[in-house]
Amino acid sequence: MLKNKEQERLALEFSQGWSYAPAPESTDHVQLQERYSLFIDGKFVAPSSKKYFPTVNPATEQVIAEVAEAGKKDVDKAVKAARKAYDEVWSKMPASERGKYIFRIARLIQERAREFAVIESMDGGKPIRESRDVDIPLAANHFFYYAGWADKLSYAFPNRRPRPVGVAGQIIPWNFPLLMAAWKLAPALATGNTVVLKPAETTPLTALKLAELIRDSGLPPGVVNIVTGAGATGAALVSHPDVDKIAFTGSTEVGKMIQRAVAGTNKKVTLELGGKAANIIFEDAPLDQAVEGIVNGIYFNQGHVCCAGSRLFVQESVAHTVVRKLKDRLKTLIVGDPLDKNTDVGAINSAGQLKTIRDYIALGKSEGAEFYESPCALPQAGYWCRPTLFTGVSQSHRIAQEEIFGPVLSIQTFRTVSEVIDKANNTPYGLSAGIWTDKGSKIFNLGQQMRAGVVWANTYNKFDPTSPFGGYKESGFGREGGLQGLAPYLQFD
């Protein structure tokens, strides 16, 4: 009898699918203040407005800390500190010494990697597996990589006498908070510039942790200043007359505003903007690997990735199989607590972003595309979106043209190589693309014809500090990473 009951229980468990036991990462080692000030001239200082705003954990909706809102006066103070540090210390320091400071920052990030990873997941909602294995190690690697260039600029640009630009204003988004800070700070410091950095409103905490670490590293005061706030703080930095260069990563809309704001000034600008990448699966591709690549490309980091493979093009002969395999895979994705080591898909970054994604899902349905979502349960509190896909999408649908920035995939089919090239390039964006095929010749052909800054072949979302990254068309201009990432922070004879 008992045996039958046990068999029944096992059968039920089997039919419902088995699940992992919770495996939450500990937060005991994390040290956070209740309130953060602005990091200006090597010290934490209160904002002149005395205003603070909360930063919340999007998985729980709980306030984690209060953060200072920098106004025009504070931005001015930060720019003045950066100018003074540039004139008096940083521009006069031998490049090899500069490099040592950058190495030290890289090592300190490695030492505190676990704390950074947990804070990144708490403040932004991304799974700990990603912040631990991708964001934080890559951030440290960017500092290591650019530290090495500091005293080798004349080899990087022979016969061109590279010189720093001066004071750089840097504005970053919320999807890779510490990594974007590293992408900005490391090359700027290696090339001898000083910096005022503005993190995104919803994810300021790892940048502020980095400020503590920079202070502890002994970097001369004023070389790096970090001013938190919302869009107005960024706008104040862009329009400040004593900033020599603006480096911006964010939406195309704000990128265009910045370009208008600096028109007619001497400011140098680089813009890393939105994307709507094509991920292309040919019939000769290893389909199971391709399905993993699709999942990694769009559901990774909740689709909060500028280069996300949000448009899937599948060759008609294998479309049915790929969509079936993809739906099966969606059912197994674990959505939930970002701090759980088994979680595949974490929380949507903010209530505002969740609304944007929901509006696009409703739009896709009303445009007539066929909707499918993972049947997974969602937590009660927090901002969540199930991994979702649309089939029967056509080129003119807005869900095939506009950046959604969420775990929403639009799927189209194609028959010939020239057809898929036309379709893939038919978007205002051009940040990245993916190609899955068994044939090297197809990879070379498509790789050359894609109007995209990065083209991955039989993989997706792979990053390395030595590779340049950046866009075509409305995805922006300028490159970050690699040797190419040095040039935007230099002037030449």
Residues that bind ligand NAP (CB under 6 A): 171-175, 198, 200-201, 230-231, 234-235, 238, 249-251, 254, 257-258, 272-275, 306, 403, 405, 431, 471, 476
CB nearer ligand NAP, residue 217 or residue 461: 461
CB nearer ligand NAP, residue 223 or residue 452: 452
Residue 235, binding choice from Mg ion, ligand NAP, none, Cβ under 5 to 8 Å by partner class:
ligand NAP
User: Taking CB positions, which residue lies at the least distance from ligand NAP?
Assistant: 234
Write out the DSSP string of 333-382: --BS-TTBTT-SB---S-HHHHHHHHHHHHHHHHTTPEEEE------SSS
In angstroms, give the least distance from the CB of 203 to Mg ion: 5
H helix or E strand, kind and range, residue 316? helix 316-332
CB nearer ligand NAP, residue 78 or residue 443: 78
In angstroms, give the least distance from the CB of 92 to ligand NAP: 31
Task: Return the amino acid letter for 440.
Answer: G
CA distance 205 to 53: 12
CA distance 137 to 109: 8
In angstroms, give the least distance from the CB of 243 to ligand NAP: 12
Does residue number 202 form part of the binding site for Mg ion (CB under 5 A)?
yes
Does residue number 121 form part of the binding site for Mg ion (CB under 5 A)?
no
Q: Of the listed pieces 50-58, 137-145, 326-334, 453-461, which binds Mg ion according to CB under 5 A?
A: 50-58
Residue 121, binding choice from ligand NAP, Mg ion, none, Cβ under 5 to 8 Å by partner class:
none
**Of 69, 120, 306, 307, which one is the catalytic site residue?**
306
The candidate with the shortest Cα–Cα distance to 341, out of 167, 150, 171, 126, is 126
307 is catalytic: no
Backbone angles phi, psi at 43, to 5 degrees: -130, 155
Burial class (CB in 10 A: 0-12, 13-18, 19+), 238: buried
What CA–CA distances, in Å, run from 437 to 125, 290, 298, 340?
34, 9, 19, 34
**Of 25, 130, 272, 480, which one is the catalytic site residue?**
272
Q: Of the listed pieces 159-167, 183-191, 195-203, 480-488, which binds Mg ion according to CB under 5 A?
A: 195-203
385 is catalytic: no
In angstroms, give the least distance from the CB of 356 to ligand NAP: 9
CB nearer ligand NAP, residue 116 or residue 174: 174
Site for Mg ion in 321-360 (CB under 5 A): none
CA distance 477 to 231: 21
Does residue number 55 form part of the binding site for Mg ion (CB under 5 A)?
yes
In angstroms, give the least distance from the CB of 208 to Mg ion: 12
Residue 306, binding choice from ligand NAP, Mg ion, none, Cβ under 5 to 8 Å by partner class:
ligand NAP
Does residue number 123 form part of the binding site for Mg ion (CB under 5 A)?
yes
CB nearer ligand NAP, residue 181 or residue 435: 181
In angstroms, give the least distance from the CB of 429 to ligand NAP: 9
Report, in angstroms and rounded to the nearest whole number, the Rg of the chain calculated over CA atoms: 23
The candidate with the shortest Cα–Cα distance to 468, out of 195, 253, 296, 272, is 272
# residues near Mg ion by CB under 5 A: 3
Residue 170, binding choice from Mg ion, ligand NAP, none, Cβ under 5 to 8 Å by partner class:
none
Task: Return the amino acid letter for 25.
Answer: E
Order across the sheet with 311-315: list the strands: 370-373, 388-391, 408-414, 311-315, 278-281, 432-436, 454-457
Is-contact 41 221, C-beta < 8 A? yes
Task: Return the amino acid letter for 88.
Answer: E
The candidate with the shortest Cα–Cα distance to 250, out of 403, 120, 65, is 403
Residues near Mg ion (CB under 5 A): 55, 123, 202
| Catalytic positions | 272, 306
